[in-house]
Structure 1
Amino acid sequence: METTQRGKRVALLGNPNVGKSSIFNQLTGLRQKVGNFPGVTVDKKTGTSILPSGQKIEIVDFPGTYSLYPTSLDERVVLNVLSNPNNQDYPDAVVYVADVTSLERHLLLLTQLRDLNLPVVLVINMIDLAKEQGITVDIPYLKKKLGVEIVCTDAREGTGILDLKTTIENLLQELAVTTKDDNTFVSHYPSLKNKAQEQIQARLGIKNAYLAQLTAHHYKNLPHLSKSDVQLVDEICQEASFPRIKYQIDETMARYDEFQPIVKNAIKEEPNPNISFSDRLDQILTHPILGTGIFFLFLFLMFQAIFSWASYPMDLIEEGFASLTVFTKNTLPSGLLNDLITDGLLAGLGGVLVFIPQIAILFFFISIMEEVGYMARAVYLSDRLMQKFGLNGRSLIALLSGGACAIPAIMSTRTISNWKERLITIMVTPLISCSARIPVYTLLVAFVVPATSKIWIFNTQGIVIMGLYLLGVVAALGSAWVLKKIIKTQESAYLMLEMPDYKVPYWKNIVFVVYEKVKAFALEAGQIIIVISIVLWALASYGPEGKFEQAESQAIELAEQHHLDEQATQDLISSKKLEVSYAGILGKVIEPTIRPLGFDWKIGISLISSFAAREVFVGTMATIYSVGSAGDDERTVFDKMAKDVNPITGEKVYSRASSMALLIFYVFAMQCMATLAVVKRETKSWKWPIVQTLYMFVLAYGGAFIAYNIF
């Protein structure tokens, strides 16, 4: 069993919605990092916890799962790790989190862990809710019958966390002295013995009986088994006529028969004739009409908040970058390095990082929905509608998450067991406007609707942005309906979902989520933007030999003819040089293709560069207009774009029509290489990413063309 330099490895396991994230945050604090489990794109949260003695241990937060018989990819990750003791993530011990208000439903996986001979600490969480609901638990009795150490916690307030750390420390110390091999719960029942299981133990050298049973059931999908091992197990199972499904059912029923009486005797609940608070709320929030209206009202308020609350910090960030640019330009010696930093790096970064407040607010609202338990209701409420479009109620989680980022949203579809519904969800999720489009929308919507415009008390720009999001939703549902008719499958569709009780949000969890998401945006987008800004600056600052001199001479001649002042002359020279630069040449090549949409060659450059990441559009514009202007470093990218005119028609480049066309293009277009990579990985084929890119481009081009001619 492998351990890390940090010490022992402890797994955090449990069903969904039991408070695992709160326990994880309490144990690890800020000592966290997010990666992926080996071979898959499933998120792996790890953190360091310091025990009372000062010992450091690694905590691995596994995806929520109901049992070791997975119905989704997230659950399969848990099985893959625990079925292979040589796996690099295999734990030395397990902290198993269960909700005291639903304890019976949460013990199935616990008993399976016991039969794998894993040392377990059972955390009975949410004891505050137990007190409110008149629930008492006989901990000594439960501890004796289940054969595990038990700690009661209220993770939201931090109650019991010190006791949990002490219990983990004691358990690890016991492991250092002796290794128990009798930690079984029900696998010793004669009715669950099987010839295949015994032969697999003997032939593969598996000591644990229950692990051999899991191998017999899952051997075709266990990545650690070699081809020869798979063939061997297959022969054993066929020879023994191993009844996989019947065996799973018998095992599950045997476990419930064992622990149901234990829970019944251990938990006493005072009779309450009144309807619970959660049930009363559900009568309103899950009502087909009223509940749907409340959900859309919530989304409306969220978009208003994004524009109202974020405006002040955005102004400060924008002013800060403008001042930093002027200071840097005046401090550094004139030359190549000065131009690279001010016109390349600072212009590109400033154009994107200014939108951090809006992204933080978006994740703040999504986290609140998760924390209070409302997300599960939204899934339930939407299931009937989603089924009509070939989707699943769980698709709502992906579609809502797509409002933050398409990549984790597509990864979240692993919770959808039906292959067709999962594939359709993957194919349409990028149509949901993600947070990376917020910078683009915010910049361009100002050319369509004035910032001071209001409808009653509501900001008109916020209403337009919500309209763009709703347009993406309509496009996603319409595309899903078409794909439903095209993709065929024999699988039946169903939704199995546990409704957690409503809770006051745990603000520390929300802060962690917002911090991690903003950090990821700033670092990942920042890295891309730095590279692209440098490349664009170079392409915009250099051109074929002699072209710059020729462009300067033409600009001076035009300036003299039109009697331009010194500042206007310098602007004209910079603009003409940009037009003959390598960036200008690239833009000119694609300009005929995009001219019917009202786009010029500068926009063409941004469309190409933003394929790396949508938010790069703003950074690209900031870089282009910084290189293509002179003496106006304090002006924002919006101000510079607003001044740009078409030299042929004399009309503004960013007219209402062209800006609306560009907005529509970004609503529909697939412009994120990382998303395509994830789609390829999740579907295990290049077929679906290619189909996805093509149909979204057709939607984008057609929609932009219609918008340009209407507006």
Structure 2
Amino acid sequence: MAESLKIALIGNPNTGKTSVFNHLTGLNQQVGNYPGITVERKTGSCKLPGNVKGNIIDLPGTYSLNASSIDENVVIELLLNKTDKDYPDVAVVVTDVENLKRNLLLFTQIKDLEIPTILAINMADRMDKKGISLDIPYLESRLNTKIALISSRKGTGIANLKELIVNYTNLSTEPCLHASSIDTEYFGRLRKAFPNELLYKLWLLITQDANFGLSHKNELMGTSFTKTRADLKRLQQKETIKRYQFINDVLKVGQVIDNSKAKDLRARLDRVLTHKVFGYVIFLGILMLIFQSIFSWSELPMGLIEDGTAWLSNFVVENMAPGKLSDLLANGVIAGIGGVVIFIPQIAFLFLFISLLEESGYMSRVVFLMDRIMKPFGLSGKSVVPLISGTACAIPAIMAARNIENWRERLITILVTPFTTCSARLPVYIILISLIIPENTIAGIFNLQGLTLMALYLLGFLGAIMAAWILNKILDTKHKSFFVAEMPNYKLPLLKNVSLNVLEKTKAFVYGAGKIILALSIIIWFLGTHGPGDDFDNVEKIVEGQEYKLLTPGEPDDAVAAYQLEHSYIGIMGKAIEPAIRPLGYDWKIGVAIVSSFAAREVFVGTLATIYNIGSSGEKEDDVTIRQRMAAEIDPLTGKKVFNFATGISLLLFYAFAMQCISTLAITKKETNSWKWPLIQLFGMSTFAYIVSLIAYQLLK
């Protein structure tokens, strides 16, 4: 393409900015982190009129350029630093037609930075319903910009927005108002000292934590321009008041709201969905529906994937020459990866439901509801966001705690968030529940397996709350905190947004887990097919020459394979830790799977799939799946099934509470800037998990 434009999408939370980003970029998106910090960064490309390519960066949601969190600081640092490779040629400020007054504060600040700026007024399809009309020419004149009236829901106005982006050089860079009038004497001295710098940029560098951009940074912060934090705060308040006065004057003429035409269903829904009794009943009902669906809807695709994996493994055995390579592919790679791929349907359905709740606006009501529960346990209302988002993954959930201003509340939130049941636990839960919980229904409606899954999720939240209460007592947190959350309008979820979110999150899970599992599957296969000394090398002679207890009586090949596996490197390792885990009901194979799953919880299933494949006789076994192998596994010491009810419950509780994720420990270290807290997290959670699992097994065996 002839050109490439850098476009920054900026806006308050809940203005539909992500929907606009999805309309512009489609599938051409990338998700990563900003250099040096773990704040999520979404970028994408799109084709613009005139054969122009647009490189779009979706900046974190912010209410103003007066940053109060690390996410918001990312926006300021980009807009102030012209040397940044992502510094935009044009900024698109996305606003919500129903909250235009509040959204325009950020717009007027960005205009003061003299960046070519387009005002995109979103949710135009709601104007008639809310009795809103806009005088676009008047607004464009007063705000010194061009306006794109769009509806990300209907997809209207996007073509016009693209045209305005391409013609960004025609946009006025004149500010809407000059903030210098709040203290003419002070700003006059700034202008005199730095005549070649933007005045508003100087002001932001003084009031914000920005450490770049001006060679005169030290001079700027010197005695002649230093003010106390209280004085700077008062000036910021004066600036905000002045901007809102200007915005009010503009909207008095440019926006007309006829409340008589509005039809407000939102208030009536909120009274029910956030009710102090019915709100929780409805939320519990929604959870039950979600977990019932995860089991029932995914049964067919899971079965197809499971059968396909077994077929592929058999195909490799039958069509490749016997040897180490075919054994590695069939019993290492395919078995290990297949142990996770089978759970794609459940993971996708979980993300589907979470996306629907977020897109509809209901998740914000859940956060509001849960705030009432969290406060007595020492958690901030803002802690609810990490705990809710932890159902997807603990890593971004811990990063989301950055919005909590108080350090102790933030620390407690970081430490307890891993108790929340993340998607990595789901494969473990699904396979264990299917082994020990019958597919019975209660009252002909509720599937017992689905209820068990929901109970495990609730148990995770309970664990997080109780851990927070204990930490609150230990850390002696005595302070007041306030919870401020915006309630977005209810809306029908956009199919495109939901689909992209499910696809992106499922891919991230599969690729992230797949890399770890592939590597570990190969390592485990090697350790399981090699061993030291004569016990491993002369296995057939040893088995023939002694009475060896067969796993399945009458099948000598299985005896050879089992004996060889026990005396392999992985068997020796498993036997070494078996005395510590026997009281929990686990054998050495489960012990190896638990140890390997400290890399990532979902590795548990892949590890067992690899071990059991290695432990088989190697003959053709049509459609023998990991679940069937686990169900048939016999403990040679007791002669009973390994995965019985007591062992299964013990394992479920262990995985509900144990800290088994190296990546989560790494992000905790980064966020707390200390190894002390992740080590407390690791040993505290794992010890608690061991004790609870021990008690459960001893009571149930």
TM-score bucket (shorter structure): over 0.9
Match of 1:73 in 2: 70
Of residues 639, 661, 666, the one that matches 1:677 is: 666
Describe the shift of the 1:584–1:241 C-alpha distance in structure 2 as closer, same or farther (beyond 3 A): closer
**Would the aligned equivalents of 1:187 and 1:209 in 2 still touch at CA under 8 Å?**
no
The answer for the alignment partner of 2:473 in structure 1 is 485
Whether contact under 8 Å (1:368, 1:505) holds in the other structure is yes
- SS of 2:10's partner is strand
Work out whether 1:211 is the aligned partner of 2:194: no
- Separation (CA, whole Å) in 1 of partners of 2:3 and 2:547: 68
Is 1:37 aligned to residue 37 of structure 2?
no
Aligned residue among 300, 312, 322 for 2:310: 322
Match of 1:658 in 2: 647
Residue 616 (structure 1) shift: 0.4
Shift in alpha-carbon separation, 1:6–1:563, aligned structure 2, 3 A: closer
**2 CA distance for matches of 1:657 and 1:206?**
75
| Alignment match, 2:624 | 635
The question of whether the paired residues in 2 share the 8 Å contact of 1:216 and 1:237 is answered with no
The alpha-carbon deviation at position 397 of structure 1 amounts to: 2.2
Match of 1:308 in 2: 296
Verify: 1:13 aligned to 2:10, yes or no: yes
The 3-state SS of whatever aligns with 2:487 is coil
Q: Measure how far apart 1:545 and its partner are.
A: 3.0
- For residues 197 and 394 of structure 2, what CA distance do their matches in structure 1 show? 43
Q: What pairs with 1:291-306 in structure 2 (closer than 5 Å)?
A: 291-306=279-294
Label 1:201 to 1:461 Cα distance change in 2 as closer, same or farther (>3 A).
Answer: farther
Number of the residue aligned with 2:585: 598
Structure 1 match to 2:608? 621
CA distance in 1: counterparts of 2:462 and 2:549, whole angstroms: 53
Amino acid at match of 2:465: L
User: Aligned partners of 1:700, 1:5: CA distance in 2, in Å?
Assistant: 59
Aligned 1:129-140 pairs, distance under 5 A? 129-140=126-137
| Offset from partner CA, 1:435-480 (integer Å, 9 cap, x none) | 1111101111223212356553211111111111111111110011
Query: Which amino acid is 1:622 matched to?
Result: A
Report the CA distance between 1:378 and its aligned residue: 1.3
SS in 1 for 2:43: strand
Distance in structure 1 (CA, Å) of the matches to 2:574 and 2:355 = 41
Deviates more, 1:643-652 or 1:540-549: 643-652
CA drift at 1:144: 0.5
- The match for 2:55 is 58
* TM-score of the superposed pair, with normalisation by structure 1: 0.94
Cα-to-partner distance string for 1:37-83 (whole Å, 9 max, x where unaligned): 11111111100011011210100001110011122221121122222
SS of alignment partner, residue 601 of structure 2? coil
- Tell which deviates more after alignment, 60-69 or 6-15: 6-15
Q: Secondary structure at the match of 1:10?
A: strand
> In structure 2, what is the Cα distance between the partners aligned to 1:368 and 1:192?
48
Deviates more, 1:634-643 or 1:50-59: 634-643
- Closer/same/farther in 2, CA of residues 702 and 119 from structure 1, 3 Å limit: same
Instruction: Give the counterpart letter for 1:678 in structure 2.
Output: I
1:107 aligns with 2:104: yes
| Equivalences for residues 150-299 of structure 1 within 5 A | 150-171=147-168, 173-174=169-170, 183-187=174-178, 189-193=180-184, 195=186, 198-199=189-190, 202=193, 207-218=197-208, 221-224=209-212, 231-236=218-223, 239=226, 243-272=231-260, 276-299=264-287
Cα deviation, 1:4-24, whole Å, max 9, x if unaligned, reads 997221000000000011100
Q: CA deviation at 1:350?
A: 0.6
Match of 2:505 in 1: 517
Matches within 5 A, 1:363-382: 363-382=351-370
Partners of 1:363 and 1:563 in 2: how far apart?
A: 40
Structure 1 residue 598: Cα displacement? 1.2
Task: For residue 360 of structure 1, give the secondary structure of its aligned residue in structure 2.
Answer: helix
The answer (yes or no) to whether the contact 1:646–1:653 under 8 Å persists in 2 is yes
> Could you tell which deviates more after superposition, 634-643 or 119-128?
634-643
Is 1:84 the counterpart of 2:104? The answer is no
**Amino acid corresponding to residue 556 of structure 2 in structure 1:** T
Task: Identify the range of structure 1 (43-52 vs 78-87) with the bigger mean alpha-carbon deviation.
Answer: 78-87
Given residue 655 of structure 2, which amino acid in structure 1 is its aligned partner? Answer: Y
Closer/same/farther in 2, CA of residues 695 and 539 from structure 1, 3 Å limit: same
- 642-651 vs 556-565, greater mean Cα deviation: 556-565
Check 1:707–1:320 CA distance in 2 against 1; reply closer, same or farther (3 A cut).
same
Query: Any conservation in 2 of the 1:201–1:212 contact (CA below 8 Å)?
Result: no
Change (3 A) 1:266 1:85: same
1:400 and 1:229 mapped to 2: Cα distance? 44
Correspondence for 2:462: 474
SS at match of 1:35: strand
- Match for 2:422: what amino acid? C
Secondary structure of 2:250 counterpart? helix
Alpha-carbon distance in structure 1 between the residues aligned to 2:330 and 2:580 = 32
Structure-1 separation of matches of 2:185 and 2:485: 33
- SS of match in other structure, 2:222: helix
How far the C-alpha of 1:547 sits from its partner, in A, is 2.2
Equivalent residues of 2:428, 2:604 under 8 A apart: yes
Q: Residue type of the partner of 2:632? A: K
- 1:635 is paired with a residue whose SS is coil
Q: Which AA in structure 2 matches 1:211?
A: K
Distance 1:193 1:83, change over 3 A: farther
Give yes or no for contact 1:206–1:212 (8 Å, CA) kept in 2. Answer: no
Contact 1:200/1:233 (<8 A) preserved = no
Pick closer, same or farther for the CA change 1:241–1:424 going to 2, 3 Å: closer
- Deviation, 1:522, is 1.3
Partner deviation per Cα, 1:512-571 (whole Å, 9 max, x = no partner): 0000011111111111111000000000010003222343333334569989877x1111
Q: How does 1:338-417 map to 2 (within 5 A)?
A: 338-417=326-405
- Which piece of structure 1 moves more, 647-656 or 253-262? 647-656
User: What percentage of aligned pairs have identical amino acids?
Assistant: 45
Alpha-carbon distance in 2 for matches of 1:564, 1:316: 28
Secondary structure at 2:259 match in 1? coil
TM-score, normalising length: structure 2: 0.95
Match in the other structure for 2:567: 580
2:677 to 651, 670, 688: 688
Question: Is 1:427 the counterpart of 2:418 in the alignment?
Answer: no
What residue number does 1:460 align with?
Answer: 448
CA RMSD of aligned residues (A): 2.3
- Residues 493-522 of structure 1 show CA distances to partners (whole Å, capped at 9, x for unaligned) of 111222111111111100000000111111
- Identify which range, 696-705 or 416-425, moves more after superposition: 416-425
- Deviations 1:220-239 (Å, cap 9, x if unpaired)? x324379x966444323665
Closer, same or farther: CA 129–659 of 1 in aligned 2, 3 Å: same
Q: Which amino acid aligns with 2:430?
A: T
Q: Label 1:512 to 1:382 Cα distance change in 2 as closer, same or farther (>3 A).
A: same
| Cα distance in 1, alignment partners of residues 239 and 130 from structure 2 | 32
Contact 1:201 1:207 in 2 (8 A): no
Distance 1:299 1:206, change over 3 A: farther
Unaligned runs of 5+ in 2: none
Contact in 2 for aligned 1:626/1:633 (Cα 8 Å): no
User: How far, CA to CA, are the matches of 1:618 and 1:254 in structure 2?
Assistant: 60
**Alpha carbons 2:343, 2:427 under 8 Å: kept:** yes
Match of 1:12, SS state, is: strand
For 1:17 and 1:157, locate their aligned partners in 2 and report how far apart those are by CA, in whole Å: 17
Deviation digits for residues 629-651 of structure 1 (CA, Å, limit 9, x no counterpart): 12236311122122222222222
Q: Report the equivalent of 2:428.
A: 440
> Using a 3 Å threshold, how does the CA distance of structure 1 residues 521 and 188 change in structure 2: closer, same or farther?
closer
Q: Does the aligned pair in 2 maintain the 1:599–1:658 contact within 8 Å?
A: yes
